[in-house]
Structure 1
Amino acid sequence: MSQNKKKKMEFPTAFTVLFIILILAALLTYIVPAGLYSKLWYDGEQNLFVVEDHKGELTTFPATQETLDNLNIKLDVTKFTGGSIKKPIAIPDTYKPIEQSPQGLLSVIMAPVEGVMDTVDIMVFVLILGGIIGLINKTGTFDAGIAALSRKTKGKEFLLVAFVSILIALGGTTFGLAEETIALYPILMPIFIASGYDAIVCIAAIYMGSSIGTMFSTVNPFSVAIASNAAGISFKEGLVFRVVSLVLAMAITLIYIYRYAKKVKEDPRNSIIYEDMDRIEEKFLKDYNPENVIPFNWRRMLILLVFLSAFPIMIWGVSTGKWWFPEMSGLFLAVAIIIMFLSGFSEKEAVNTFLEGAADLIGVVLIIGVARAINIVMDKGMISDTLLYYTSSIIKNMNAGVFSVVQMILFSILGFFVPSSSGLATLSMPIMAPLADTVGLSRAVVVTAYNWGQGWMAFITPTGLILATLEMVDVTYDKWLKFILPLMGIIGVFAALMLVVHTIII
C-alpha cells in the first residue's frame, strides 16, 4: 500500500505539466479582457508605413518622420527604413478593448497540433542531433573521449563545469545561445556523471550558463539590440553596466553550483535526484566501464573532430544573423552523413543507428511543440496586448528606483506570455520606453529591466526550454525547482539592487 501511495505522490511528467498550463491559459482567455494595440510596420518595397488597427483594417502612410511624430512613436524613421526594426510595433495610446475570444476545448486540443507545426524547424534540428548522438555513441567515440577527459581532469573536475558554463554564457550574452545547447547534454552528461557529479550539475552548467548569458545580455542582437532600437536608443547605452552585471551574476551562479556540486561529490546522497541516479547513470553510462580502456584511435578522433567542428560553424552562422534552424539542421545533416562514412558501419547499420538515435528524442521534440501551444492559445485569445496595457498603466509616474524594479517584475510576467525576446521587445518597447521619460530616467534602464525580467523568468518558465531539457536528461520539473528556486531568488535580489544602482548612475 505504501508503494501505491508513493506512486500517487510522484510529480507529473513534463507533458502533463504543459497540458495543465495549457488549460489554465485557455481559462485566462475567458477572464482577461481581450484587446489590441494598433500595429505599425514598414513596407520596404513600397516605402510606406502600414498600420493595422484593432479591427484588422489596414491604412498606409508615407514613411517619414512626420508620420511617426503624428502617431506619437518616439523613434527615428531610419530605424525602420534602415532595417533595424523589422517586426510590427505597438502604437502608443491606441489600445482598444475588443470582443472576447475565449479558447474552448477544441482550441486546447488543436493547439498542440498547431504548436508542433509551428516549431517543426526546431524539432527537425533536435531529431537530426539525436541521430548523430546515436551514431557517435555506437562507435564508442564518447566512451573513449570520456575516459581520456576524466583522466585529464582528475582532482580538478569543477574547472570543466566552470569552463563549460562561462563559454556558454559568452554565447548567450553575444548572440542568444539557447536552443542550440540541446546538442551539448548527450556529450557532457556522461563526462559530468563519470566525474562524480549528478545530472543537476550538468543541467546547471549548461542551462544556467545560457540563461545567465541571455538574461544579462550585452550585445545580443535578438534582445538588447532589437529592444534598444525599438526604444529609440543605441545598444551601447548601458553596455559597461551590463558587462559588470554579467560578470557578477556569473560569479554568483558558479559559487552556487560549486557548493551543490561539492556536496554531491562528497556524498551522492546529498543529490536532489539521488533516488533517480541509478536510472540516469544506466541511461548515459550504460556502455561506459572505467576499467575497460577504449582506445581513442584515429577513427574516433576524426569522428569527434568532425562533430565538434560543426559548433564553431553553427556559431558563425547564427551570429551573422543569417542562419536559423533550417540552416543548422542542414549543417548537422551533413555532419551525420560524414560520420556514417567514417563509422565503418554498413549502410543499413549506419542508417538504422541514426534512426534509433533520432527516435530517442521524440519525447523532447513533442514537448517543444506542446510548449508552443500555450502561446498559440493566448495569442488567439487576444490577451497579450491587454496584459501590456495593464502593466504599462501600473508603472506610470512611479518613483524612479521603484519604477525600474517593478518594470523588471512586469517584464518577467510578460515574458511568460510572450517568450520570444525579439517579439516582446518590438511589442512592448514603444509603449514602455517613453514611460521612462516621465520619471526622468534613461531608456537604457527600461531595456535592462526588459532583458533581466524576461531572462529571470526563463530559469523556470515551462513555455521556454527547461522542460525539453529536463526530458532529455530524465529529471522531473519539481527536482529542478528545488535546486533552482534559491538561486533564482538570489539572482532576482541581485538584479533588483543593480537596477536601482543603474537608475542612480545613468
Structure 2
Amino acid sequence: MEMTKENTQANHQPWYRTMPDPMVLIFGILVATFLLTYLVPAGTFERIIIDGRTTVVPGSFHVIENAPSLHVFDIFVAIPQGLISAAPYLFIVFIAGGLFHILQRSGALENAIGVAVNKVGVKNRNLIITVGTFIYGFFGVAVGFENNIALVPVAVLIASAVGYSRLVGTAMAVGGIGIGFALSPINPYTIGVAQGIAELPIFSGAGLRTILVLSSLALLSYYICTRVAKMDEESADTGLSKDLSEYSMTGRNKLTLAAFLIGLGVMLYGVFANGWYINEIAGLFLLMAISIGAINGLGANGIVKQMMEGASGVTSGALVIGVAASIQVILNDAQIIDTIVHSLSSLIQDMPIAISAIVASVVQGVINLFIPGGSGQAMVTMPILVPVADLTGMSRQLMITAFQVGDGLTNLIVPTSGGTLAMLALGGVSYERWLKAILPFMLFVYALCWVALFIGQLIGY
C-alpha cells in the first residue's frame, strides 16, 4: 500500500519534476543530431580571408560528393571529443567554483551583502532584484557574455539574502547578462563583426538597440519578480547564517572584498585592453583564489582543500557543458552545418518585406544551435544574408538587428552555448530547471523584439 501511495504521488507531480536529467536531455539531442546527418547532405561554402578574418563567399555553396557517413559508435566517441573541445569552459567553472567557495568561507561576501541588504531593507527586495538585473544587463552590454561568469554566484547570494531561491539569483544574473549581450548596441562580437561585413559604420543604428535592450531588461525584471520568484517559494530561504542586524564588516572582510573587486577590475582591463578571454580569466581567478585564501590565513594545503571542495560542487554542471559540446562535434564531422545555413537562408528571399526581418531572426536563432559563437555565426551568415537584404529591399541595418536578436537571445536556451551552461553550473541550477523558468519569458521577449523589427522595417531603420 505504501508503494502504491508513493507511485500515486509521483504520478501527480508537475511535469517539470518528472523531466529527465540534463545529461539525458542533451544525449537525446545528440542522438537526434546524429540522425539528422542521414537526412541532410554534406555541403560547404567557399571561404576567403579578408583582413585576417575568414569570410564565406556568397553563392559558393555546393554539395560534397562522397562525404563520409557517421556510424552509431561516433555518438559515443563525440562525447570525449566534446569534453576536450569544451575544456576552457570546464576549467573556468572548476576554478571559479573554488574561488567562490573560498570567498564564501571567508564570510566577507556574506557580511557585505548582509550589511547592504540591511540598509536597503528586505521589504524592498523586488527593487533589489530589479536594480541587480539592470546592473548585470549593463555588464552584458559593455563587457560580454562569458567574461561575466564569475559574477553569477554573487547574484545567487543576493537573492538568498532577500529570501529568494538560487533560481531567482541565477535568472537575475544569467538573464541580465544574456539580454544585455544579446541586444547590446555596442557588442563587438556580433554587431561589430556583422557591421564590418555589411560595410556599415561601427555601432551605427544604436538608438533602436538601446531602446530594445532597456525594454527587454525591464520585462525580465518584472518576469523574475512576478513569476520566477514564485516557482521555488518552498526552497527559498534567507541564505544567511544570522539576522541582518547582526552583520558587520571586519578589517579582514574589507581586505578580502577589496582583493576580489581589484581582481574584477584587472579582468575588465584585460578584456578591453588585451583581448583576454576564457583562459586568461580562469588564470586570474586562480590567482584571486590564492590571494584571498592567503588574506584569510589559509596555508597552501588549506587553499587546495577548499578549491577542491568548491570544484566538486560544480562537477555535474561542468560535465554537462562537455557533453553538450559533442553536438557540435557531430555536426562538424558530418559537414552539414553549411547545408543547414544555406537552406535556412534561402527561406528569406521570397518573404514579404514586412515580415522578412522577423523570419530572419528566427532563422538566425535556429542557426545558433549549430554555430553558437556570435562572431563565428556572423562570419558565416552575414555574407549570405546581406545580399539577401539588398535583394528583398530590407536595410542592412535591420538585417543585422534581426541577426543580433536571433543569435543573442537563443544563447539563453540552446545546449550548445557553453557560457550559459557554465553560468548555470555556478548558479547551482540544472539545465532542465532553467528551461522551465526561462522559456515563457523567451516568448515575451521575442514578441517584443519582433514588434521592434516590424516597426523598424516600417520606419526605414
One-letter identity of the residue aligned with 1:273: D
| Alignment deviations for residues 270-293 of structure 1 (CA, whole Å, 9 cap, x no partner) | x32345x17xx5xx94x7232894
* Counterpart-to-counterpart distance in 2, 1:249 and 1:326: 31
One-letter identity of the residue aligned with 2:439: L
One-letter identity of the residue aligned with 1:188: A
| Alignment deviations for residues 323-365 of structure 1 (CA, whole Å, 9 cap, x no partner) | 1122112222221221121111233223211222122222222
Residue 208 of structure 1 is aligned with which of 163, 175, 178? 175
CA contact (8 A) 2:348 2:359 kept: yes
After the TM superposition, which residues 71-470 of structure 1 pair with which residues of structure 2 at under 5 Å, given as runs?
80-81=50-51, 86-98=52-64, 99-154=66-121, 155-176=123-144, 178-260=145-227, 264=229, 271-274=230-233, 277=235, 285=239, 288-290=241-243, 293=246, 295-320=248-273, 322-464=275-417, 465-470=419-424
* Counterpart-to-counterpart distance in 1, 2:275 and 2:413: 29
One-letter identity of the residue aligned with 2:119: K
One-letter identity of the residue aligned with 1:220: N
One-letter identity of the residue aligned with 2:437: F
Asked if residue 29 in structure 1 is aligned to residue 37 in structure 2, the reply is yes
Asked if residue 491 in structure 1 is aligned to residue 450 in structure 2, the reply is no
Distance 1:3 1:87, change over 3 A: farther
Mean CA deviation greater in 330-339 or 478-487: 478-487
Structure 1 gap ranges (5+): 42-79, 265-270
* Counterpart-to-counterpart distance in 2, 1:327 and 1:272: 37
Distance 1:5 1:22, change over 3 A: farther
The alpha carbon displacement at 1:233 in A equals 2.1
1:61 is matched with none
Distance 1:158 1:313, change over 3 A: farther
* Counterpart-to-counterpart distance in 1, 2:276 and 2:60: 35
Mean CA deviation greater in 495-504 or 231-240: 231-240
Mean CA deviation greater in 472-481 or 449-458: 472-481
Asked if residue 10 in structure 1 is aligned to residue 18 in structure 2, the reply is yes
Relative to total residues, which structure has the larger helix share, 1 or 2? 2
1:60 is matched with none
Structure 2 gap ranges (5+): 12-16
The alpha carbon displacement at 1:478 in A equals 4.1
Partner SS for 1:213: helix
Distance 1:134 1:474, change over 3 A: closer
Identity of aligned residues (%): 28
Distance 1:295 1:490, change over 3 A: closer
Partner SS for 1:248: helix
Mean CA deviation greater in 215-224 or 389-398: 389-398
RMSD of equivalent CA atoms:
2.3
Asked if residue 480 in structure 1 is aligned to residue 448 in structure 2, the reply is no
* Counterpart-to-counterpart distance in 1, 2:133 and 2:377: 26
* Counterpart-to-counterpart distance in 1, 2:430 and 2:10: 14
2:458 is matched with 504
* Counterpart-to-counterpart distance in 1, 2:432 and 2:299: 43
The alpha carbon displacement at 1:188 in A equals 2.6
1:268 is matched with none
Instruction: Give TM-score, length-normalised by structure 1.
Output: 0.83
The alpha carbon displacement at 1:410 in A equals 0.5
| Alignment deviations for residues 149-202 of structure 1 (CA, whole Å, 9 cap, x no partner) | 2212212222322222212212222342x2233322322323212202222321
Instruction: Give TM-score, length-normalised by structure 2.
Output: 0.91
Distance 1:13 1:319, change over 3 A: farther
One-letter identity of the residue aligned with 1:386: T
* Counterpart-to-counterpart distance in 2, 1:37 and 1:97: 9
Q: How many residues align?
A: 449
Partner SS for 2:204: coil
